[in-house]
Amino acid sequence: MRNVIVTGGSRGLGLAIARRLSSTGYRVIAIARKQNPELTTAMQDAEGSNPGSFHFVPFDLAETDNISCLVRQLRKDYGVIYGLVNNAGISFEGLLALMPAHQIEQLVRINVVSPIVLTKHVIRLMMADGGGRIVNLASIAAFTGYSGLSVYGATKASMIGFSRSLAREIGRVGININSVAPGFIETDMTKTLSDDMRQQVERRSALRRLAEGKDVANAVEFLLGDNARNITGTVITVDAGSTA
């Protein structure tokens, strides 16, 4: 089984992605701060149908100094790492003029610094092991302005810029890196967003509906698969046409 690390694989989009990958032949290593009942059920389901396909490793990605140790340990415990899905992320909605500095710093740390540091350590292994695939969870907030999401949008645009340049550094060693940019999807993260924010997104949807976690999982599965071998440095939006 090919090993794929899915950060934030304990709930929401990360769990939808982890479920999909564990049921389609991958061994998922989900990383998140803590277990929850939804994750336990998903792992039990996976154990029933595809034994050994879903593992959980508790880790706080804010601790960027410990990420190199984590990656070394994962390589030792699971073997070659084929894929990395940088999904873990946080969001605070708020007007920039009123946003406390600690929230700005936390958004940048979790949404930008942690995935970049994790990617750095994982690509070192992938280079030695003959290649791999990386998928970053961006957001349509990287392309479309939403009042209240300026800092969040900045972090997501950062990951797209990061992927485009890194694709040119690591393509020659057989590593593809792409981003998936979801629109508004019902998860714990979006529960905290205001009705006004949700209406802004729905109004802009060409298909007049919201995308779902399974749609995002489809895109991630595609980018990890053999059919995407000549796709790198790009972005797939999964937003029911909000940015169309």
Is 146 catalytic? The answer is: no
Q: Are 157 and 204 in contact (CB under 8 A)?
A: no
Q: Mark 205-244 with x for binding to ligand NAD (rule: CB under 6 A) and - for no binding.
A: ----------------------------------------
With respect to ligand NAD, which residue has the nearer C-beta, 148 or 182? 182
Tell me if 12 contacts ligand NAD by CB under 6 A: yes
From the list 5, 6, 43, 61, which residue makes contact with ligand NAD (rule: CB under 6 A)? 61
Least separation in angstroms between CB 88 and ligand NAD: 4
By CB under 6 A, the residues from 106 to 135 that bind ligand NAD are: 110
| CA distances from residue 53 to 22, 46, 133, 166, 187 in whole angstroms, order as listed | 5, 6, 18, 29, 24
98, exposed or middle or buried, with CB in 10 Å at 0-12, 13-18, 19+? Answer: exposed
Tell me if 10 contacts ligand NAD by CB under 6 A: yes
Mind giving me the DSSP string for 86-148? E---------GGG--HHHHHHHHIIIIIHHHHHHHHHHHHHHHHT-EEEEEE--GGGTS--TT
With respect to ligand NAD, which residue has the nearer C-beta, 129 or 202? 202
Kind plus residue range of the DSSP H or E element containing 5:
strand 2-7
Tell me if 149 contacts ligand NAD by CB under 6 A: no
Specify the amino acid at residue 223.
L
From the list 33, 120, 168, 229, which residue makes contact with ligand NAD (rule: CB under 6 A)? 33
With respect to ligand NAD, which residue has the nearer C-beta, 83 or 89? 89
By CB under 6 A, the residues from 154 to 183 that bind ligand NAD are: 182
With respect to ligand NAD, which residue has the nearer C-beta, 30 or 167? 30
Bridge-based pairing state of the strands 54-58 and 2-7: unpaired
* Active-site option among 26, 82, 146, 152: 152
- Closest by CA to 14, choosing from 223, 188, 201, is 188
Rounded Cα–Cα distance for residues 144 and 156 (Å):
11
**What is the token pair recorded at 168?**
């040119």
Rounded Cα–Cα distance for residues 63 and 208 (Å):
40
With respect to ligand NAD, which residue has the nearer C-beta, 3 or 7? 7
Among the listed ranges 19-27, 54-62, 95-103, 161-169, the one in contact with ligand NAD (CB under 6 A) is 54-62
Residues forming the active site: 152
What are the residues binding ligand NAD (CB under 6 A)?
8, 10-14, 32-33, 60-62, 87-91, 110, 137, 139, 182, 184-185, 187-190
